[in-house]
Amino acid sequence: MKRIFEPVPRAVVEAFVRAAPTGIPVRRAWYLYEILTGRTLQVADAPQVAAVDLLDAKTYFTGKQRLSKRHRVRDDLLGTATFCPMFRRTKTLVEFVKLDLSAKAREPQGVPVYIHPFRDGNGRMHRCLIHHVLAERKFTPPDLVFPVSSVMLDRSGVSLCLRQAHGRAGSSARN
């Protein structure tokens, strides 16, 4: 797309933006022109209109949104101006992602069966690993413990579980 924008004279794009500064396709093109070419157009920032997504999330896989106040566009691209893959949300890819996520969610469950760190079973280890995987993959917000069991609702229980899993069972639960 950068190659499409580069030969276009700045004045042509500026006239395009000035003709319809609140238009959704105009704001998207303006945003892409500036980030891909590195050229800032000599036009006023977009008026206070509702921000629009750069990509349609029903059509493409999208990333975390970043608002460009100048263009009133939410950049939801998967990368940056220097490298940005785009993937259409096809039935095949959607099914693959679902299968992959499902497999990753099950990954740690088989491991504790072979590790019996506690005489009374390995439920704590299993819950600890599940929470670790959920946290690492940012499934839950940083300060949230997803209640896999009532034991995990108690922060000290999580702390104790982690210490026991890492061989420091003698430490107090409050350290």
Amino acid found at 78: L
Query: What is the pTM (predicted TM-score) of this model?
Result: 0.59
Distance CA 172, CA 37 (A): 57
Distance CA 26, CA 156 (A): 54
| Residue in 131, 129, 156, 159 with CA at minimum distance from that of residue 146 | 131
Q: What is the pLDDT of residue 160?
A: 59
For the chain, how long is the longest CA-to-CA vector? 75
Report, as an integer, the average pLDDT of 91-96.
Answer: 86
Asked if 149 and 125 count as a contact pair (C-beta separation under 8 A), the reply is: no
Mind listing the pLDDT tens digit for each residue in 106-163?
Answer: 665 555 445 555 555 556 666 667 777 777 777 777 766 666 655 545 555 555 555 5
Task: List the domain boundaries for the chain.
Answer: 2-75, 91-165
User: Where do the DSSP E strands lie in 51-120?
Assistant: 52-53, 66-68, 73-75
Highest mean pLDDT among 47-51, 97-101, 142-146 belongs to 47-51
Listed range (49-53, 66-70, 90-94, 116-120) with the worst mean pLDDT: 116-120
Distance CA 169, CA 1 (A): 56
